[in-house]
């Protein structure tokens, strides 16, 4: 095993994986229809480089689908079939997690085999949040760890969770990051720590508290030169600036529990004067028709703000296209409605002209793909909540576990 260089976690390249049994936690949680058919397999295909990098190993995949109580809380058989399609060879599905059937199939594996175990969330202890040392005492870890040589976490999108299959093996096995996890960390780090200047964050969507957390972090630590706000985030910021955003928009903010965020937004505006870009006009929804008004005119209307206006689109797009680094999180408006996707489309298009562009997971990443710009971005994150937390500077539990394990391994060496 090589030493860690310029990173504080191990990757596949730091291990001799030839003829080894490798436990790999992936996140292939996918949208499924009521008949159990996979609707979007992006997360499945995202893990193919990791599995291909282990072609001389025995690969045991741990994964989940949905959660208890949901209609798509089902087995991993369709996922194994889709993985087989992408790999061009069989991925065996085993309808067991750590019982005798699973253990016997793992023990019988040969070099080059890939096996997908059953939905780890079928085991009730999987979703209990607790430290790695406590997870290591569970039946899942006690039964699977002795059969494996190395554990790899490739599930960035759930790494903000302190769940069993993400944490438990890091206390007992040599462990590191898979290719997707490595790519997520290095790409996001480049954006927020080492990217070109100016660095611009464009924060939109409806998760106001998350976006304000990101804004506070990147402005206070110098990670961003400017933060441009759109969506409900912008409405809260406009209200904090003293603009009358109209009854419909105030009521929506209150219904989402974000009234208290107005004071927080005001503090950000006060602390970082000139660093936050606000819309100068918006598009109101009049029974499906787009009505453009300046910010000063919104208070006279009973209509809802569903997008940023043309003047704002032009100004924001110019600033974004000239950026050294741009990071998008959240759509600019209600982009699923015809006529109100314009702001989101133009901002995404402008981001492709920046030197380095990141789509920060969740809704905005889906829109980048839907609008056909996925090959023009430097990085499209597979994470939603995990990406938000990472950008906000919040330690992700499962990644922290990898870092702690790397320190322990280095000391042993």
Asked whether residue 29 is marked as a ligand-binding residue, the answer is yes
Of residues 60, 63, 57, the one with CA closest to residue 15: 57
Please list the helix, strand and coil fractions of the chain in percent, rounded to the nearest 5, in that order. 45, 15, 40
Burial category of 149 from C-beta neighbours within 10 Å (exposed 0-12, middle 13-18, buried 19 and up): middle
SS3 state at 149:
coil
User: Token pair of 409, please?
Assistant: 């391994």
Phi, psi of 316 (to 5 degrees): -65, -40
Beta strands in 117-218 (DSSP E): 150-153, 175-177, 199-203
27 is an annotated ligand-binding site residue: yes
Closest CA to 316 of 387, 207, 234: 234
Q: Give SS3 for 40.
A: coil
Name the strand (E) or helix (H) holding 328: strand 325-329
Query: What one-character DSSP code corresponds to residue 191?
Result: I
- Is residue 66 a known part of a binding site? yes
Beta strands in 20-171 (DSSP E): 21-25, 58-62, 92-93, 114-116, 150-153
Q: Check whether 362 is labelled as a binding-site residue.
A: yes
CA distance 231 to 338: 16
Read off the tokens for 321. 């296209």
343 is known to lie in a ligand binding site: no
On whether 103 is known to bind a ligand per the annotation, the reply is no
Residue 116, classed as helix, strand or coil, is strand
Phi first, then psi: give them for residue 58, nearest 5 degrees.
-105, 115
Q: Is 161 annotated as a binding residue?
A: yes
User: What is the rounded distance in angstroms from the CA atom of residue 184 to the CA atom of residue 362?
Assistant: 14
Please check if 363 is assigned to a binding site: yes
Whether the CB-CB separation of 287 and 338 falls below 8 Å is answered with no
Strand, helix or coil for residue 282: strand
Q: Is the separation of the CB atoms in 384 and 362 below 8 Å?
A: yes
CB 74 within 8 A of CB 97: no
The structure tokens listed for 194 are 């080492």
What are 289's strand-pairing partners? 286
**Per the annotation, where are the binding residues for substrate?**
27-29, 43, 64-67, 121, 161
**Per the annotation, where are the binding residues for (2R)-3-phosphoglycerate?**
43, 121, 161
**Per the annotation, where are the binding residues for ATP?**
336, 361-364
**Per the annotation, where are the binding residues?**
27-29, 43, 64-67, 121, 161, 336, 361-364
């Amino acid at each position: 095993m090589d030493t860690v260089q310029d990173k504080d976690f191990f990757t596949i390249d730091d291990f001799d994986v030839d003829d080894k049994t490798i436990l790999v936690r992936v996140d292939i949680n996918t949208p499924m229809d009521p008949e159990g058919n996979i609707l979007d397999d992006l997360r499945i295909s995202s893990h193919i480089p990791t599995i291909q990098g282990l072609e001389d190993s025995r690969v045991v995949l741990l994964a989940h689908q949905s959660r208890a109580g949901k209609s798509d809380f089902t087995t991993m058989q369709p996922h194994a079939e889709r993985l087989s399609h992408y790999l061009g060879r069989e991925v065996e599905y085993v309808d067991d997690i750590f019982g005798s059937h699973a253990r016997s199939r793992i023990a019988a594996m040969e070099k080059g085999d890939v096996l997908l175990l059953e939905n780890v969330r079928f085991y009730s202890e999987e979703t209990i949040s607790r430290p790695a040392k406590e997870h290591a005492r569970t039946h899942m870890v006690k039964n699977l760890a002795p059969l494996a040589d190395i554990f790899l976490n490739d599930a960035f999108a759930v790494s903000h969770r302190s769940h069993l299959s993400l944490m438990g093996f890091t206390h007992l096995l040599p462990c590191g990051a898979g290719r997707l996890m490595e790519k997520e960390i290095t790409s996001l780090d480049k954006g927020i720590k080492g990217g070109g200047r100016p660095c611009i964050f464009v924060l939109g969507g409806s998760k106001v508290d998350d976006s304000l957390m990101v804004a506070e972090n990147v402005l206070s630590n110098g990670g961003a030169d400017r933060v441009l706000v759109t969506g409900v985030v912008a409405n809260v910021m406009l209200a904090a600036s003293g603009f009358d955003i109209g009854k419909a928009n105030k009521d929506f903010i209150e219904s989402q529990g974000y009234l208290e965020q107005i004071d927080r937004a005001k503090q950000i505006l006060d602390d970082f004067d000139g660093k936050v870009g606000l819309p100068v006009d918006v598009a109101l929804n009049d029974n499906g028709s787009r009505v453009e008004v300046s910010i000063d005119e919104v208070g006279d209307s009973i209509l809802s703000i569903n997008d940023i206006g043309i003047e704002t689109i032009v100004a924001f797009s110019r600033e974004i296209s000239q950026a050294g680094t741009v990071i998008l999180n959240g759509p600019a408006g209600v982009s699923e409605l015809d006529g109100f996707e314009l702001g989101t489309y133009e901002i995404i298009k402008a981001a492709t002209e920046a030197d380095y562009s990141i789509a920060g997971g969740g809704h905005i990443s889906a829109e980048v793909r839907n609008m056909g710009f996925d090959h023009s971005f430097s990085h499209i994150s597979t994470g939603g909540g995990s990406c938000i937390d990472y950008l906000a500077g919040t330690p992700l539990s499962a990644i922290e576990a990898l870092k702690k394990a790397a320190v322990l391994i280095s000391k042993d060496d």
